[in-house]
Amino acid sequence: MDPETQPVSPPRGSARPGGRTARTRERVLAAVTTLLVEEGYEALTVDAVAARSGVHRTTVYRRWRDAGGLLADTLDAARDEPWEPPDTGSLTGDLIEINRQIVAALTAEPSLVRALIAASFRSPAAAHALRSFWEDRYARAAEVVHRAAARGETGAGVDARSVIVTACAPVFHELVLMRIPAPADIAERYARIAAAAAGQLRVQ
């Protein structure tokens, strides 16, 4: 894996992960989350994190490189809760539920996902964390398409990831890129469209 893009948290070679190093990480990550919650991600500067954590700013720069690296490590640390795809009994219902979770993640205040997306344009670590997080989610979510195929809801040879992306991408597009105030039915609308397309033969 490219060392330029992988998470930075364990100090480069991680040869001495003992007490002080671990304590530093704990203090810094705690400062990141409290800063995010209390002041939003605009306030998430390396200097602010250093000041609040009591860890020196050069240390933060050395280990996390930039604010995006801090976000990436925070996301990794918060990935303990394993996510399971919904199982409502229909492809449409499953996609609606997935989209609703995405809408919730994008409209939360503060939204870690939005912060990570913004940071991803300036920070390789943030870009990598964003990508691997969603690739992981989409891989798990493929299950709902496979179940639908087993139920005969979809055409033959449907590519699961394409169906998921067809449902989810418009939500990101409208809420993140176009910054449209979320229409109440946006999760449903594009879930239904994706499910309708999957119902046709040979999506991919």
Partner DNA sequence: GCTTTAACGCTACGGGTGTAGCATTAATCA
Partner DNA sequence: TGATTAATGCTACACCCGTAGCGTTAAAGC
Interface with a second copy (CB under 8 A), residue from 120, 129, 154, 187: 120
Please name the residue that has the structure tokens 């809760």: 81
Query: Binding to a second copy by residue 91, rule CB under 8 A?
Result: no
Q: Which is nearer to DNA, 44 or 171 (CB)?
A: 44
Select the span of 5-13, 143-151, 156-164, 191-199 touching DNA (CB under 7 A): 5-13
| φ and ψ at residue 182, rounded to 5 degrees | -55, 115
Query: Binding to a second copy by residue 68, rule CB under 8 A?
Result: no
Long-range contacts from 113-122, C-beta under 8 angstroms, 24+ separation? 114/41, 114/176, 115/36, 115/41, 115/44, 115/71, 116/68, 116/71, 116/72, 116/75, 117/176, 118/41, 119/66, 119/67, 119/68, 119/71, 120/68, 122/66, 122/68
Please calculate the CA angle 100-166-92 and round it to the nearest 5 degrees: 55
Per CB under 8 A, contacts with a second copy among 12-51 are none
Query: Binding to DNA by residue 128, rule CB under 7 A?
Result: no
Q: Which residues bind DNA (CB under 7 A)?
A: 11-21, 24-25, 45-48, 54-59, 61-63, 65-67, 122-123
Please give the residue ranges that form the binding site for a second copy (CB under 8 A). 117-118, 120-122, 127, 130-131, 134-135, 162, 165-166, 168-170, 172-174, 176-180, 189-190, 192-194, 196-197, 199-200, 203-204
